[in-house]
Structure 1
Amino acid sequence: MCMVVEMRTNFKDALKTTEPLPLPKVTTPSEILAALELIPKLAEADMLCSYGKLILNERLFEALMELPMHMRKA
């Protein structure tokens, strides 16, 4: 029971803070397009499809950037 009370207190204290939360990193559309243009033999239709997905999901773009260049075209 003591642990529950402690958790409530910590949660309430966390809600009282006035410090702003850090903004998430956002990749600009021009950065995404530039990264896609570097992929060899990427057809225009594939580029548009990939661009449409990557501008909606930052994690997908980060995952793409971690792949070696020779693995980026599927």
Structure 2
Amino acid sequence: MKGSFQYALKSLEPLELPKVTHPLEILAALEKILDLAHSDMLRAYGKLILSERLFQAFMELPMEFRNEWLLMLNEKNNV
């Protein structure tokens, strides 16, 4: 019984909040991409602010792949 009580106390400890990137940081990363049309930037921004994992994947790409990847992401969800 003592073990289950200790477990119950642990379940009341506050959970660590997941990392959330500030929207200004996402916008700044998108603005660094040359030749990205405003409409494509807005579509990508709308997706990246909703998914931290998607933004992390975007940031791991080399700069020369980011524009094409965002365009593919936009196409994939518009089909």
How many pairs are equivalent?
64
Q: State the Cα distance separating 1:46 from its structure 2 match.
A: 0.4
TM-score normalised per structure 1: 0.78
Once the 2 structures are TM-superposed, how far is the Cα of residue 16 of structure 1 from its aligned partner?
Answer: 2.6
- Give structure 1 regions of 4+ aligned residues with deviation exceeding 3 angstroms: none
SS across alignment from 1:72: helix
Larger helix percent: 2
Root mean square deviation of aligned Cα: 1.7
Matched, 1:16 2:9: yes
Correspondence for 2:59 among 65, 70, 74: 65
Which of residues 44, 47, 68 in structure 1 aligns to 2:41? 47
**TM-score normalised by length of structure 2:** 0.73
Unaligned 5+ runs, structure 1: 1-8
- Give the gaps of 5 or more residues in structure 2: 69-79
Residue 38 in 1 paired to residue 32 in 2? yes
Q: CA offsets per residue over residues 14-33 of structure 1, 9 Å max, x none?
A: x4313211111000110000
Q: Distance in 1 between matches of 2:33 and 2:57?
A: 14
Q: Distance in 2 between matches of 1:60 and 1:68?
A: 15
Percent identical among aligned pairs is: 61
